Amino acid sequence: MIEAVISGTGLYRPPHRISNEELVQSFNAYVERFNAEHAEAIAAGSVAALTPSSVEFIEKASGIKNRYVMDKDGVLDPARMYPRIAARPDDQWSVMAEMAGEAARAACREAGIEPSQIDAVYCASANMQRPYPAMACEIQALLGAKGFGYDMNVACSSATFGIEQAVNAVRCGTARCALVVSPEITSAHLEWRDRDCHFIFGDTCTAVLVQAATDVPACQGFAVLGTQLATQYSNNIRNNFGFMNRCEDSNWQERDKTFRQEGRKVFKEVVPMAAAHIEAHLQQLGIEPSGVRRYWLHQANLGMNQLVIKKLVGAEAGSEVAPIILDEWANTASAGSIIAFHEHSADFARGELGVICSFGAGYSIGSVVLRKR
C-alpha cells in the first residue's frame, strides 16, 4: 500500500477582525434598539426582553477573544447584524473559491510543488456557497489542477473527513497529490443577534496537501499512520437553511435558518465521545495517549478542549500538548483543528507523534494520527 504524507498546509486570513469589545458594543446597541421598539409587548409579557452581552461572559463561556470575518460593517451594524457580501456574476471566481485558492497556493509553496501537480480536490466545509457546480470543481479550475474534485459537508468535522478521503485516494492510487480545502464563511450562517452564540464563529480557509510518500523528500511532512471517522445522529447542533425552504414557504430570516445549538447537551455528550474516539484509535495503532506529543483538537470551546485533553493525558488545553488558537480565530468550524496543526507543528522532531481531531454537528468525529518524517 502506498504511504500517504501530509506535505504542506496553508491558511487564509480574512481582511477584517472583530474584538470582543467591538462585538459587545454592537450587540448591546441592537439589544437596546430591540427592547425600545418592543417596549409595549415586553411590558405586556408577550415578548421577552433581550439581555445585553459582555466581554466577561464571552471569554468565560468560550475562551474566545477575537475573530476574523469577510465583512465587518454588516456584522456590527445594529440594524443588520450579518455580513454584506456582494453577489458576483457567474463568469467571476466565487468568494469561497478565491479563499481556497489563496490557502491552497500557500500549501503548495510549503510542499514545494505547483498547483498543476494536484490531481484531486476535496472542498470540505460546513456550508457551501451554492449547490452546484461543485465548489471543488471551481477551485480545481482556479488552481489549474488536474483530475477530479467534489464537495463534502460533515459540519465541523469536514476537514478531517476530507483528509481521510485524500489519504485513501493516495493509498489506492486514485491520486498522487490530493488537496483538502475548507473555506468557512461561518459569519454568514451565525445568528449574530442571539446572545448565546453571537460570539462563536469566525471566517477562514485552510488547505492540506496529501501526497504519495515517494513524491515527498524524506524528512518533509508527516506520515499518516491512520484515520478514523465516526458519526452519531443528533439534533443538538442544527441549521435548516437550504433550497427546500422556498418549497416550505418559509422565511430565510427565521431563527432555524442559521446556526443553533443546545450547548450544554453538546458539551456533555461530545466530550466523552471525542476522548473515547481518540483513545480507541490510538489503541488500534498500538499507541498510548501519553506517547503522543501533541493533540490538535477542534477549536470550538476552551472548556470542551480542557476536558478532552484531561481525560486523555491529564494535560491542560493551551499547553504545548494541546495548543489553543480559538482565542484569536474563534470557532472556524472544520478549519479549527487544521489551523492548530498549521501553526503548531513546525517544532516536531523526526518520529514524534501527533493527532488531529475534530468533533461537531452530526455528531461527527474525525481523527488523523501522524508521525513526523
Please give the Cα distance from 309 to 322 (Å, whole number): 7
How far is it, in rounded angstroms, from Cα 307 to Cα 46?
40
Residue 365: phi and psi, rounded to 5, are -135, 130
Q: Of the residues 108, 123, 137, 156, which is catalytic? A: 156
Query: What Rg value do the Cα atoms of the chain yield, rounded?
Result: 21
Instruction: Verify whether residue 123 is a known catalytic residue.
Output: no
C-alpha cell at 25: 458594543
Identify whether 133 is preceded by a cis peptide bond (ω within 30 of 0): yes
36 and 90 Cβ atoms separated by less than 8 Å: no
Other Cβ atoms within 10 Å of 168 Cβ, number: 15
Measured over the CA atoms of residue 39, residue 45, residue 46 and residue 52, the dihedral's sign is: positive
CB-based contact 199:329 (threshold 8 Å): no
Show Cβ contacts of residue 26 under 8 Å, excluding neighbours closer than 6 positions: 75, 76, 77, 78, 81
Active site amino acids: 156
